Amino acid sequence: MEWQFRGDVPIYTQLCEQLTLAIVAGAFSPGERLPTVREMAVDAGVNPNTMQRALSELERSGLVYTQRTAGRYVTESVERIEAERQRIAETRAREFLAAMEKLGYDHAGTVDLLEQMRGEWMQ
Amino acid sequence: MSSILECKALQKRYGLKDALCGINLSLEPGRIIGLLGPNGSGKTTLIKLACGLLTPTGGEILIDGQKPSKETKAIVSYLPERMALPTWMTAKQAMDYYQDFYSDFRRDTAEDMLARLGLDERQTIRSMSKGMREKLQLILVMSRAAKLYLLDEPIGGVDPATRDYILKTIIGNYNEDAAVVISTHLIADVEQVLDEVVFLRQGNVVLHRSVDDIREAEGKSVDELFRQVFAY
């Protein structure tokens, strides 16, 4: 997995975001067993305690779960993953709409532009 | 939790100059700590005091509750700033040496890491590149199941690929119940492997805080904060 970190946000927050994206994008499949905390920390080049904290956060949000002694798994609930994908998509769409508004595009203008770009999109 | 390293009014003077001006510091096990500061701020002095290579001028330093001694050396794994092994040694002889000296040396771990590097055990240290020497020395240090790792400038003067290798070797191999102290002024490079940082300036501790706290509270990286604290 490719990891990238910015300076202004806690690393564990960024790990949560990137792990969530990886699950939503299918880099980890539903029900897949995750590598150990240490292995994941080494892969990302981050502190194991920070990785642990991020995974606990994902556990609280229901995207992963721990089975005593057997390790940590991605949720088997496709609905839960789908809901997360929807949530991220909405956030991204809102950011996009806010940026378009700044450029002076109203709702109709934005939709028109997207329509015009349909060909480019389909490729 | 009891401290693995504790300094109480720790002072070290060289001639007329105070290298450490009576610092108080307590480090807990299970954490990776960055010992950060410009050149001459006292980082190496502190590490050498913890290893028992120097004796305090005043105050005291305790390792797992004891003054530095033969007993504490058995639980402290130290990476000096410069190559401390005789260069005529081969990698295998260096491992023999570690095995003789330290009962916590995990030879399998060391051999495995050397094999993955593609390093021939019969090669002498003299014939190795600078990067390879650094890697060998780090492998030996991290292959000990110590309670306290003291790494003095482990990433100074190596290329980015070697630096990544070194950092991943540290996080992949330290004993989970141990504390790891990494001294460096290359903060941007180590920041994401650290739990907490200690800023040293002219022999004083000016900050001791968790990395995520700094980012959360200040909205900036430790590197940025460091540049601000140490700006002229």
Using a CB–CB cut-off of 8 Å, the residues of A that contact B are 5, 7-12, 38, 41-42, 45-50
Q: Classify domain A11-76 by CATH number.
A: 1.10.10.10
- The domain segmentation of chain B, as residue ranges, is 5-84+146-229
Chain A, nearest residue to B196 by Cα: A47
CA distance B113 to chain A (A): 14
Instruction: Quote the pLDDT of residue A85.
Output: 93
How much is the average pLDDT of B35-52? 94
Instruction: Quote the pLDDT of residue B232.
Output: 65
Nearest beta carbon to residue A48 from set B171, B221, B224: B171
User: Mean pLDDT, chain B, as a whole number?
Assistant: 93
Amino acid residing at A10 = P
Give the phi and the psi of residue A16 in degrees, each rounded to 5.
-55, -50
The share of chain A scoring above pLDDT 70, in percent, equals 99
Q: Are B17 and B4 in contact (CB under 8 A)?
A: no
pLDDT in tens, B91-138: 999 999 999 999 999 999 999 999 988 899 999 999 999 889 989 999
- The terminus-to-terminus CA distance of chain B in angstroms comes to 38
Nearest beta carbon to residue A46 from set B176, B193, B220: B193
pLDDT in tens, A94-121: 999 999 999 999 989 999 999 988 888 7
In Å, what is the CA distance from B73 to each residue of A38, B146, B177?
27, 9, 17
Instruction: Quote the pLDDT of residue B231.
Output: 78
Q: Is the Cβ pair A45, B164 closer than 8 Å?
A: yes
Q: Is the Cβ pair B220, A7 closer than 8 Å?
A: yes
Q: Which residues of B132-148 are buried (b: 16+ CB within 10 A; e: fewer)?
A: bbbbbbbbbbbbbbbbb
How much is the average pLDDT of A83-88? 94
Instruction: Quote the pLDDT of residue B1.
Output: 59
Query: Which CATH entry fits the domain spanning B5-84+146-229: 3.40.50.10480, 3.10.20.600, 3.40.50.2300, 3.40.50.300?
Result: 3.40.50.300
What is the value of ipTM here, to two decimals? 0.83
Q: Could you tell me if B221 lies within 8 Å of chain A, comparing CB atoms?
A: yes
